[in-house]
Amino acid sequence: MKKIIILGSTGSIGKQTLEVINKDKNKFKILLLSTDKNINLISKQIKNFKVENVVVTNKKKYKILKKKFKKIKIFPDFKKIDKKLKVKADYAMSAISGIEGLRPTINIIKKTKRIAIANKESLICGWSFIQKELKKNKTEFIPVDSEHFSIWSVIKDYKKSDIEKVILTASGGPFLNKKIKKNVSPKDAISHPNWTMGKKISIDSATMMNKIFEIIEAKKIFNLELNKFEILIHPKSYIHAIVKLKNGLIKIIAHDTDMKIPISNSIYMGNNNKNFIKSKKIDINILNSLNLQKVRIKKYPVIKILNRITKKESLFDTILVAINDELVKLFLENKIKFLDISSKIWHLINLPLFSKFRHQKPKNLAQIEKLNEFVRLKTSSLSVISKQK
């Protein structure tokens, strides 16, 4: 049986990973699941997959679940996992959202032969630490964002010097063909036309901030120069990446808007499995009308942030993630306007308070976590004060 670990099993990616596994449940053994506070859902997962190890990071919810399941091991954090999990997993999915997922991802690498990472923030803010652990433990890494999995599936067979251009596609979000009004509501902004996603990533899609993060992520994990990347609008989300090779070939990677495709491929890679997800037939109508477009900076002003990205890894990446996280949170709480997200990101990253970190390399995980808390606190206070004025 293939042994599995899922960090963030109650989130969107975690749930879809379990749905893939559930189709062939007798071939898998779930070693560990984790959640922050969704103990109702993880209780069902425990029973369905007969899970013996669970992490619940919310203290109150941890105590409740520990009383409910007395015969299994329930932990309040990931600190003891290394000693308690004696068996090494064949596959781990890291799907905890936010920078909070960085340390658990680092901790679990040593406990698995292959890790699929869906957590953007971990890869953006802590790639050097992740990479170090991957090499140390000889753990295979697969990115499972649809764009990064698509790029990886092509360039893993080529040298870095063979790559001429990498294009990531963006749907344009819910406002692609609409005028963005000042009174845009969170409900309007999270209504993605193609994907069913969480609120945070849906807002990032609407502002195009998700593409900024995806380019930073891709630059790091594929070790390519920033000028080799480009973003194109593709409203149908059928094409996920385009790779132009120096030998003249252009490889276009397409699949349905279903995250189970990269997830199932990362699980079953190299195996002749009959339970692979059954995708739809090739959509000729979409292929005949790809409608690729250049990104309009007036529509998506955050794109100019690409000019501020540093060549070398720095704490600027953590600054950017933390500022955006907090601004999206404030918007979802109706404390700032939708258009404020883009304008305030640009304003804040240029403040001396934050810009001084641009060329500082992260020293350790604690520094990243501390800086994240500091930036979010400052972002919130500065944004609320400016609104009151």
Domain harbouring 389, CATH code: 1.10.1740
CA dist 142 and 150 (Å) reads 11
Question: At 192, is the pLDDT very low, low, confident or very high (cuts 50, 70, 90)?
Answer: confident
20 within a domain of the structure (yes/no): yes
Residue type, 4: I
First to last CA, the chain: 61
Domain boundary among 113, 143, 173: 143
Residue reference for tokens 């500022």: 323
**Average pLDDT in the 1-16 region?**
95
270 within a domain of the structure (yes/no): no
**Looking at the predicted structure, is the pLDDT value of residue 11 above 90?**
yes
pLDDT of residue 386: 53
pLDDT of residue 388: 45
* Closest by Cα among 342, 295, 344 to 172: 295
My answer on whether 48 and 20 are in the same domain is yes
264 within a domain of the structure (yes/no): no
My answer on whether 58 and 88 are in the same domain is yes
**Average pLDDT in the 118-141 region?**
96
Question: At 46, is the pLDDT very low, low, confident or very high (cuts 50, 70, 90)?
Answer: very high
80 within a domain of the structure (yes/no): yes
Residue reference for tokens 């308690």: 84
Written as six digits, the tokens of 71 are 């015969």
Helix, strand, coil: what percent of the chain each, to 5? Answer: 50, 15, 35
pLDDT of residue 73: 94
Q: Cα angle vertex 166, ends 209, 128, to 5°?
A: 65
**Looking at the predicted structure, is the pLDDT value of residue 278 above 50?**
yes
Residue reference for tokens 């963005």: 180
- Residues 6 or more apart whose Cβ sits within 8 Å of residue 156: none
Domain boundary among 84, 115, 143: 143
My answer on whether 251 and 354 are in the same domain is no
Lowest-confidence region among 157-161, 285-289, 306-310: 285-289
pLDDT of residue 195: 65
Task: State the average pLDDT for the chain.
Answer: 91
φ, ψ of residue 250 in degrees (nearest 5): -120, 120
219 within a domain of the structure (yes/no): yes
CA dist 306 and 370 (Å) reads 25
**Average pLDDT in the 49-78 region?**
94
CA dist 364 and 331 (Å) reads 31
pLDDT of residue 273: 56
φ, ψ of residue 177 in degrees (nearest 5): -110, 25
Lowest-confidence region among 10-14, 61-65, 260-264, 289-293: 289-293
CA dist 344 and 353 (Å) reads 14
Domain of 317 in residue numbering reads as: 312-389
CA dist 64 and 54 (Å) reads 13
Decide which of 57 and 278 is more confident: 57
My answer on whether 244 and 109 are in the same domain is no
**Looking at the predicted structure, is the pLDDT value of residue 34 above 50?**
yes
Written in H, E and C, the secondary structure of 47-69 is HHHCCCEEEECCHHHHHHHHHHC
pLDDT of residue 80: 80
My answer on whether 286 and 347 are in the same domain is no
Question: At 218, is the pLDDT very low, low, confident or very high (cuts 50, 70, 90)?
Answer: very high
My answer on whether 152 and 296 are in the same domain is yes
262 within a domain of the structure (yes/no): no
pLDDT of residue 196: 65
Do residues 150 and 241 lie in contact, with contact meaning Cβ atoms separated by under 8 Å? yes
Distances (CA, A) of 117 to 43, 65, 207, 254, 314: 24, 27, 23, 20, 21
Decide which of 124 and 389 is more confident: 124
**Looking at the predicted structure, is the pLDDT value of residue 232 above 50?**
yes
**Looking at the predicted structure, is the pLDDT value of residue 206 above 50?**
yes
Instruction: Give the global pTM.
Output: 0.91
Domain boundary among 143, 164, 181: 143
For residue range 326-376, what is the model confidence (pLDDT) as tens digits?
A: 999 999 999 999 999 999 999 999 999 998 998 899 999 999 999 999 999
My answer on whether 168 and 122 are in the same domain is no
Written as six digits, the tokens of 59 are 């203290």
DSSP characters for 294-315?
EPPTTT-GGGGGGGG--SS--T
Do residues 62 and 76 lie in contact, with contact meaning Cβ atoms separated by under 8 Å? yes
Name the 3-class secondary structure at 75.
Answer: strand
Question: At 389, is the pLDDT very low, low, confident or very high (cuts 50, 70, 90)?
Answer: very low
φ, ψ of residue 263 in degrees (nearest 5): -65, -50
The CATH number assigned to the domain holding 125 equals 3.40.50.720
117 within a domain of the structure (yes/no): yes
Q: How many Cβ atoms from other residues are within 10 Å of residue 387's Cβ?
A: 13
265 within a domain of the structure (yes/no): no
My answer on whether 168 and 301 are in the same domain is yes
Give me the helix-helix angle, 146-155 and 209-221, nearest 10°: 30
**Looking at the predicted structure, is the pLDDT value of residue 208 above 80?**
yes
Lowest-confidence region among 169-173, 192-196, 223-227: 192-196
**Average pLDDT in the 61-90 region?**
90
Count of structural domains, the chain: 3
**Looking at the predicted structure, is the pLDDT value of residue 75 above 80?**
yes
Residues above pLDDT 90, as percent of the chain = 72
My answer on whether 14 and 71 are in the same domain is yes
My answer on whether 283 and 186 are in the same domain is yes
Strand partners, 170: 233
My answer on whether 298 and 350 are in the same domain is no
My answer on whether 122 and 152 are in the same domain is no
